[in-house]
Amino acid sequence: MPKYVSQVHRCFRCGYCKFPSDYSSFNCPSYRRFRFDSYSTGGRLWLIYAWIKGELEWSDHLGEILYTCTTCKNCVEQCPMKFAPDIVDWIVEARSDVVEKGKIPERVSRFFEAVYNYGNPFKQLRSSRAAWANGAKRYARGDEFLLYVGCLGSYDENGQKMARSLVHILNASRISFGILGAEEECCGNEVYMLGEMGLFQNIAEKNIRKFTGLGVTKIITLCPHGYNVMKNIYPTMGARFEVYHYTQVLSDLLEQNKLIPLPAKAKVTYQDPCFLGRYNNVYDEPRQILQCIPGVKLVEMERTRKDAFCCGGGSGNFVTDLLAGSPDNPARVRVREAYETGANTLAVACPGCLTMLTDAAKAENLDGKLDVKDISQVVRDS
Amino acid sequence: MANTSVVYDSLVKIVGKDFVSDRREERYFYARDGGLMPPHEPDFVVMPRTTEDVQEIVKLANREKVPIVPIGAGLALTGLVIPQRGGIVLDMKRMDRILEVNERARYVVVEAGVTQGALKNYLQRHYPNLRHSIPDAPPVATVVANAVIHGQGRLSQQHGFNSDMVSGLEVVLPTGEVCRIGSCSVSSYWFSKGAPLPDLSGLFLGWFGTTGVITKLGLKLYPCKKMRDVMVFLADKAELVPDIMLRLSHTEMVEDAVVSAAPLPLRFRGTFWVMAYITGDSDEELEFKRKMVWDALWEHFENRDVGFLSVPPDMKAPLMSMPSKDTTRFADVSKGGGFQYAGPITPIEKFPAFHRKLEEVAAKYNVFYASTTRLIGAGHCMMFSFSFSFNRANPDEMARAKKALDECSRFSLEEGGVLWKADVDEQKLLMNKMDPNTLALIRKIKQLLDPNGIMNPGNWEVP
């Protein structure tokens, strides 16, 4: 029996999960978006328990409630109970049961089908996975690092720009690395968070086998989602790689004077990606990079670090987009908050955040007022 | 019987379809709270944004004779916002603007959905020399709901119930009129809920939403000193606690005085933790207050009846936090997500009898207990909580906890206490004991204000 079945009733629905630590505003993305208590973590857990007990039949609406959770872990940070670290695991386990019963929302189903058939959630051809790469070197045995670009970096227009910037910087810094190109496949982080454990296992085992076969020992990921799954979940399946998010690598390069950014003039605020910050406690390196750029002034948003407000893209929502359709969608709320700092640039370290927040800035008519850029783009443009 | 599709369509017209639900999931969640009262589903959950929205919804409900239940965070735990007869649950949390702080007259005006947490944060950030009386409910509890149930908070020792700190109201009456209560009815200032006018706030505070929907509330603010500390004294005789509390109150130096008792951890079993909170703008002020507190209890020290606990920083931090997360954590003591407490308001002298009853009932029903007692006013009364945790996956334990609570409530009434935020059954106990003319007055007021009986029916229903 999955653990959540015997544990999920322990939620008291006290509502701490809705807040950041200073209680200044609502920090649960789906609750902030929809405002019915049913969309808060407490609501979700009570409804899951009702479903387990047979007091609620499965419905499309219940599926929507379950899948609008972005697994951002704000609830894990804020819940005062001893079981707090398990909350997202319970949600993922419940989703896994839902997947097994074939009751997932249509958009989530399409996400899985695309990953299964195409190796990415965008239904893009595997052969065009490296179309962004513009001659970037393929990984060869003996390279120090494998640069794992991920689906967003490979296919999404914003993600591709981000990937090209990073490759440019790594090349300029004379780092020994290569990419997998068309051989690369989805990392599986979103598939895992969405509860398709069979597909995830297949993806993870295939990736581990491939990386091991190529002699990979160190991986740089473009995306915090890939970083999370390779650093924390692949090892439970036998993987033995050193995994770095690219901001950790750039931060080291700056410290060793192997990367010397040129002066720039920008007031920058920074969006902590959930899978880098709350999941992996990487808060300082991205800020160190920005602060190393002469002329860049870093200003913080009100909600930052472990209290950062999710862009709404986690758990595959950058594709399924279940939180869209309102000025209250988390990405739009977040770009307004970024703009209120007086910054002219919103720096991100995640292709998911990049695409969500870029779209949100357009929706908020902040074009020309607030540039959404990845940190590698900020460095490259300096 | 109202035509539900007409009501639904009308609600959508008022607040937009994103903020109306008749779906099973919302109806399930809003049918219950974290306590032990049986659930009952609403027909609709609606989230208004403005007073005008509320006004239109109430007019609709009155016209269609549909029950309407305003809700904050639903944390009373006694089922006060469970819609006993269905109808519309009015989730007020979208009305979340802090409208005004008058720094010199020391009050704030908030909309009905403003949470305790948001107000605390706002004052700390913008008015660090002002504070409000923060209850130990989770921060999502709303300021208005706390006042409506006569909540208590960190300033209750000095200033009484949190409802005593209300300085004005805006209310939508059950027939749809918007009504201002207090100084704000004749002035742009919200400094008084009554005096020197007839105090009409009593028509709404303590009525659990049965006489109207409060849409705005003025709340008195108090000086926020730069420093704060807690002194923890230990006593092992319940009989001494009333005297300790009175002595602390006599100093007029204590911001908050709380006594807690629980059977775990074992090293503290049988020990009462008396916590005296002091504040100051300087070390000298704080030290002076410490000395006053020591002097007040010195006789008990000399007799070795009271000890002082030197609290290490990691233990002090949770005692200092507002609200206290430890209060909420009690819900997981039984690893089951539930607790409820009977919290009678009673004279301080009843502490020993109430504590004996708590231990007796906990043993009788085999339920885990804790108790927190807060001094209210300058020793005029206290709130004594008979708290029992339970496992929501264990129906037998839930039934035992409910019996324990019921027995404690009956005992409290017999001992001269008055039940706080009484559930519908406890309200009946109270009304059975109430002076008949008082009861008749309640009936008259209710009939006058709410002729169609649409407001939170089932509560304060005089037979």
Q: Domain ranges in chain A?
A: 3-104, 118-251, 260-381
Of A14, A56, A62, the CB nearest to B328: A14
Q: Is residue B165, in this structure, part of any structural domain at all?
A: yes
Residues 6+ apart with CB under 8 A from B420: B149, B150, B343, B344, B345, B383
What are B329-383's pLDDT values in tens digits?
988 988 888 999 999 999 999 999 999 999 999 999 999 999 999 999 999 999 9
Any domain includes B365 = yes
Which of B202, B223, B244 is at the close of a domain? Answer: B223
Question: Of A130-134, A163-167, B66-70, which range is least confident?
Answer: A130-134
Q: Does B302 touch chain A (CB under 8 A)?
A: no
Q: Using the 3D structure, point to which of B397, B414, B431 is the last residue of a domain.
A: B414
Q: What is the pLDDT of residues A78-125, one digit of tens each?
A: 999 999 999 999 999 999 999 999 989 999 999 999 999 999 999 999
Assigned domain for B440 exists: no
pLDDT tens digits, residue range A19-34? Answer: 999 999 999 999 999 9
Task: Name the minimum distance, in Å, from the CA of A15 to any CA of chain B.
Answer: 6
- Of the pLDDT bands very low, low, confident and very high (cuts 50, 70, 90), residue B255 is very high
Instruction: List pLDDT tens digits, range B260-275.
Output: 998 887 777 889 999 9
CB pairs under 8 A between A and B: 110
CATH number for the domain that contains residue B106 = 3.30.465.10
* Domain shared by B175 and B235, yes or no: no
DSSP letter at B462?
A: -
Tokens in use for B280?
């100051």
What's the pLDDT score for residue B264? Answer: 80
Q: What is the mean pLDDT of chain B?
A: 96
Number of structural domains in chain B = 3
- Specify which residues A179 forms β-bridges with: A138, A147
Is B405 in the same domain as B256?
yes
On whether both B186 and B317 belong to a single domain, the answer is: no
Is the same domain home to B258 and B198? no
Given CB atoms, is B435 within the 8 Å cutoff of chain A?
A: no
Interchain CB distance below 8 Å, B94 and A35: yes
A70 in Cβ contact with A313 (< 8 Å): yes
Same domain flag for B203 and B249: no
Domain assignment present for residue B305? The answer is yes
For chain A, the residues whose C-beta falls within 8 A of a C-beta of chain B are: 6, 9-16, 18-19, 22-25, 34-38, 43, 46-47, 49-50, 55-57, 59, 61-62, 65, 80-83, 326
Q: What is the CATH classification number for the domain harbouring B79?
A: 3.30.43.10
Determine the pLDDT at residue B1: 56
Does B336 contact A37 at a Cβ distance shorter than 8 Å? no
Are residue B193 and residue B334 in the same domain, yes or no?
no
Kindly calculate the radius of gyration of chain A based on its CA atoms and give it in whole angstroms: 20
Give domain status of residue B432, yes or no. no
ipTM of model over 0.90: yes
Kindly compute the dihedral angle of the four CA atoms of residues B440, B446, B447, B450, in this order, to the nearest 10 degrees.
Answer: 180
Average pLDDT over residues A126-151: 94
Predicted pLDDT at B396: 97
pLDDT band, residue A18 (cuts 50/70/90): very high
Q: Are B234 and B304 in contact (CB under 8 A)?
A: no
Name residues 30-59 of chain B within 8 A of A (Cβ). 30, 33-34, 45, 47
Written as six digits, the tokens of A287 are 């800020």
> pLDDT of A168-203, one tens digit each?
999 999 999 999 999 999 999 999 999 999 999 999
**Quick one: what percent of chain B has pLDDT higher than 70?**
100
Whether B218 and B233 share a structural domain: no
Residue of B22, B332, B341 best to disrupt the A interface, most CBs of A under 10 A: B332
Q: Which of B93, B114, B144 finishes a domain?
A: B93
Q: Do both B218 and B300 map to the same domain?
A: no
Q: Do A260-381 and A118-251 fall under one CATH topology?
A: yes
How would you classify the pairing of strands A242-245 and A218-221? parallel
On whether both B324 and B400 belong to a single domain, the answer is yes
Shared-domain flag, residues B241 and B137: no
Q: Is the pLDDT of residue B4 over 90?
A: no
Residue B343 resides in a domain: yes
The chain-wide mean pLDDT, for chain A, equals 96
- Class of A260-381 per CATH? alpha beta
- Structural domain includes residue B434: no
The answer to whether the CB atoms of B332 and A81 lie below 8 A apart is yes
Instruction: Tell me whether residue B246 is in a domain.
Output: yes
How far apart are the CA of B102 and the nearest CA of chain A, in angstroms?
Answer: 20
Q: Which residue has the tokens 């409506």?
A: B148
Confidence check: pLDDT of B86 > 80? yes
User: Domain range spanning residue B189?
Assistant: 94-223
The domain defined by A118-251 folds into Rossmann fold (3.40.50)
In this structure, chain B runs to a length of 463
Q: What is the share, in percent, of chain B residues with pLDDT greater than 90?
A: 94
